[in-house]
Chains A and B, each alone.
Chain A
Amino acid sequence: MSISLNGVTKYFGGDLVLDRVTDEVPQGSLTALLGPSGSGKSTLLRIIAGLEPLNEGYIELDGRDVTNVPARDRNIGFCFQDYAPFRQMTVFDNVAYGLRVQRVPKAQLKAEVEDLLDLVRLEAFADRYPRQLSGGQRQRMALARALAIKPSVLLLDEPFAALDAQVRAELRGWVRTLQRTLGITTILVTHDQSEAMEIADRLVVLNEGRIEQVGTPDSMYDKPANDFVQAFLGPITTLNGVAYRPHDIELCVPGLGTDATVTDVIRLGFEVRVVVENNGISSWVQLTHDEAQRLNPVVGEHVSLRARTGASVATPQP
């Protein structure tokens, strides 16, 4: 199912939270809604789900206007950041909830729930209660519950934020695979740009309620539309008022570019960060392991910086 957002605008009291948001989400894609806190991304997700009304604009699912359709009739799967488990029910009953609403016959319901529990690898936990599960397990239960109603769209609000690093990494890859297998149109809200870049087919970057740019992770990283997107999607080093990626800056002998002094050299295995200072401003340049060996920067050394040819800079789009 494709999603069409047209001029979606939302006010909270006097504050403008979403400003004429317009986008076409293709069928079967995994779109990441990316932005800092307060950018309106969670609000947009809730509006798409029908959990919140919008003030102006309209939303279509597969060409059908759903703006005034209540959440329960939109056939959308939604996962909250806190997973919102039904605490008083077992894992089985949680996943079965939507099917019971649809009055699915008992035998079929049992089969479908068990299949889903197998899919999310919680088959051994069917009779447990949510409080007995770990964070990652609760997340998988929430997903199974949402998938039970065979939604045409899956909406995930910061699904990995509350998990520790290793579980987060595992779950990310797993969700990506699951989404590709099932082919459900999915929108994922996150403030973590590396997460978005890793699993999304397309990124929508939001800032203060406005869409800054839409595109594939690669194209947006290499050709950011403005300074905000560039700074949000990755580290930047400013040289002569222009922002570059740290790996797009060349370290040369003094005289060939902007003069600076090396203040620190940090080795991170494959990547070496050379921290430099010029005119009291500190920034860093990224070298590969080989480059660092060749150039051998030393603390205190005087160097000069210049942008490599073909460096990616913010290019406003028409």
Chain B
Amino acid sequence: MKRPRLALRVVVLAYVGALIGVPLVFLFQQALLHGFGPFWSALHDPTMDHAILLTAKVAVVAVPLNVIFGVGASLWIVRHPSKLTRILDTVIDVPLAISPIIVGLVLELVYAQSGWFGAALAKIGLQVMFSYPGIVMASIFVSLPLVSRQVIPLLREVGNHQEQTASTLGAGPVRIFFTITMRSITWATAYGVSLTLARVIGEYGAVLIVSGNIALVTQTLTLDIGSNFDNFNNYQGFVGALLLALASIVLLLILGIARHRERTRNEYLA
């Protein structure tokens, strides 16, 4: 039994190593090709600085909105089920199966000047397409299900007996939410937040369409990377790419810790 096990292990490690490991190492190598100094100054390129700032400004709005929506919708779906919540559950999962390009397209169809709401919004001075609000909306669209998909199964498994007990002990709905409900889904929510953040800072296709890719105005970091490569500034592109990769790795570590904590906290003898 030993040899097939060893063989499988080697094959899997080789596959994962070649598919994921090699590009990752290559990315580091390409960005740090000229050493740390040039890497650092490349990071301070004005176009890139603006892109980083814009990405951060989008994340700061999109992530909290989606977390509030995600947790709220999950509570609604699990604690007060109805025909409506079943539809809600399905609709929330829709973004998972939609290509980012299509996301950009549908937002443009509604919010561009020629779109359904575009003209009306322009009259009240709100420009959505080719501007910050549009990027935020696209980011919200693509990351919408990520929190709910973590929180819903956990809420179902935990059940509502703790919350009901707390109400017999005199606690009101707000206290119950913060002392019982939120505490039982902390790590699942943290997992969802990390995934959401990763998705928001990493979105490309949808933001490409919605923002118009205008350098120094509506170009997020991902668009900046793409634009650099289109203009053969490979090195600059790789610098930005490594920055995003490092951010993803940090988020991955948080994901790993959250998954581990989730398991030990809720490990339970029947």
Nearest residue, chain A, Cβ from B183: A88
Using A86-B180, A101-B175 as known contacts, say yes or no to A70 and B265 having CB atoms under 8 A apart. Answer: no
Per a CB cutoff under 8 Å, which of A72, A145, A148 touches B172? A72
A71 touches B164 (CB 8 A): yes
Q: Mark A59-89, 1 if CB is under 8 A from B, else 0.
A: 0000000000011111011101010111111
Using A80-B161, A88-B184 as known contacts, say yes or no to A49 and B175 having CB atoms under 8 A apart. Answer: no
Cα distance A51–B265 in the bound complex, in angstroms: 28
Cα distance A78–B77 in the bound complex, in angstroms: 26
A51 touches B169 (CB 8 A): no
Which one of B165, B171, B172, B267 has the highest number of Cβ atoms from chain A below 10 Å of its Cβ? B165
How far does the Cβ of B179 sit from chain A's closest Cβ, in whole Å? 8
Q: Mark B10-34, 1 if CB is under 8 A from A, else 0.
A: 0000000000000000000000000
Cα distance A51–B183 in the bound complex, in angstroms: 22
Cα distance A146–B164 in the bound complex, in angstroms: 12
A86 touches B162 (CB 8 A): yes
**Chain B contacts of A145 at CB under 8 A?**
165, 169
A102 touches B165 (CB 8 A): no
Which one of B179, B183, B265 has the highest number of Cβ atoms from chain A below 10 Å of its Cβ? B179
How far does the Cβ of A144 sit from chain B's closest Cβ, in whole Å? 12
A149: Cβ under 8 A from any B Cβ = yes
B162 touches A72 (CB 8 A): no
**Chain B contacts of A50 at CB under 8 A?**
168
B167: Cβ under 8 A from any A Cβ = yes
Per a CB cutoff under 8 Å, which of B164, B167, B180, B269 touches A80? B164
B167 touches A72 (CB 8 A): yes
Cα distance A97–B172 in the bound complex, in angstroms: 12
A57: Cβ under 8 A from any B Cβ = no
Nearest residue, chain B, Cβ from A86: B162
Chain A positions within 8 Å of B, measured between CB atoms, are 49-51, 70-74, 76-78, 80, 82, 84-89, 97-98, 101-102, 131, 142, 145-146, 148-149, 162
Question: Nearest 5 A-B pairs (CB), nearest first?
Answer: A98-B169, A84-B161, A101-B170, A78-B168, A88-B183
